[in-house]
Amino acid sequence: MTAACIFMGGCSGGNGYFDEPVSKSDFLMDTYMTVTVYNGSSSAPEKALSRAGELEKKWSVTDSSSEIYAADHSGGKPVTLSEDTADLVSFALSMNEKTDGALDISLYPVLREWGFTTGEYRVPEDSRITELLESVGCEKLSLDGRDITVPDGMSIDLGSVGKGRAGDEMIKTLKENGVTSAMLDLGGNIQLLGSKPDGSDFRIAVRHPSGEGNLAKVEVSDCAVITSGGYERFFEQDGNIYWHILDPKTGCPAHSGVVSATVIGKSGTLCDALSTSLFVMGTERAADLWRASDDFDYILVTDDGRAVITEGIENSFTLYDEFSSMTVEVVRREK
Which residues of the chain form contacts with ligand ADP (CB under 6 A)?
A: 102-105, 107, 111, 116, 157, 159-160, 163, 228, 232-233, 244-246, 248, 272, 275-276, 280
- Report how many residues bind Mg ion under the rule CB under 5 A: 4
Q: Which of 96, 262, 275, 310 binds Mg ion (CB under 5 A)?
A: 275
Residue 186: Cβ within 10 Å count: 25
CB of 228 to ligand ADP, least distance (A): 3
Residue 231 C-beta: closest distance to ligand ADP, Å: 10
In this complex, which beta carbon is closest to Mg ion, that of residue 11 or of residue 226?
226
Q: Which segments within 97-237 are labelled E, that is strand?
A: 142-144, 147-149, 182-186, 189-193, 202-207, 214-220, 224-229, 234-237
Segment contacting Mg ion by CB under 5 A, of 59-67, 179-187, 232-240, 273-281: 273-281
**Burial category of 321 from C-beta neighbours within 10 Å (exposed 0-12, middle 13-18, buried 19 and up):** exposed
Cα–Cα distance for residue pair 288/310, rounded to 1 Å: 11
* Residue 111: how many other CB atoms lie within 10 Å: 22
Contact pick of 104, 113, 247, 272 for Mg ion (by CB under 5 A): 272
104 touches, from ligand ADP, Mg ion, none (C-beta below 5 to 8 Å by class): ligand ADP
Write down the least CB distance from residue 1 to ligand ADP, Å. 42
- Name which of 67, 23, 30 is nearest 52 in CA terms: 30
Comparing every residue's Cβ against ligand ADP, the nearest one is 228
Beta bridge partners of 218: 204, 317
β 306-310/327-331 pair status: parallel
**Least Å from the CB of residue 297 to ligand ADP:** 17
Nearer to ligand ADP, 17 or 116 (CB): 116
**DSSP element (H, E) containing 36:** strand 31-39
Nearer to ligand ADP, 87 or 232 (CB): 232
Residues 79-138 that bind Mg ion (CB under 5 A): none
Residue 223 Cβ vs Mg ion, minimum distance, rounded to whole Å: 16
276 is an interface residue for Mg ion by CB under 5 A:
yes
Q: How far is the CB of 218 from Mg ion (least distance, A)?
A: 18
Instruction: Give the C-alpha separation, 21 to 185, whole Å.
Output: 14
Residues in the chain: 335
204 and 217 in contact (C-beta within 8 Å)? yes
Q: Considering beta carbons, is residue 117 or 180 the nearer one to ligand ADP?
A: 117
Q: Which does 280 bind (CB under 5 to 8 A by kind): Mg ion, ligand ADP, none?
A: ligand ADP
DSSP 8-state code for residue 267: -
The one segment of 38-46, 201-209, 268-276, 326-334 that binds Mg ion by CB under 5 A: 268-276
> Minimum distance between the CB of residue 176 and Mg ion, rounded to whole angstroms?
26
User: What is the edge-to-edge ordering of all strands in the sheet holding 79-80?
Assistant: 79-80, 147-149, 142-144
- Which 159-178 positions form the footprint of Mg ion (CB under 5 A)? 160
| Choice between 67 and 272, CB closer to Mg ion | 272
CA distance 79 to 322: 53
260 close to 252: Cβ distance less than 8 angstroms: no
What's the min distance (Å) between Cβ of 41 and ligand ADP?
29
Of the pair 165, 208, the CB lying nearest Mg ion is at: 165
* Residue 148 contact among ligand ADP, Mg ion, none, beta carbon within 5 to 8 Å by kind: none
Q: How far apart are CA 182 and CA 197, in angstroms?
A: 9
Span between the terminal Cα atoms of the chain, in Å: 54
87's enclosing H/E stretch is helix 83-98
Q: Site residues (CB under 5 A) for Mg ion?
A: 160, 272, 275-276
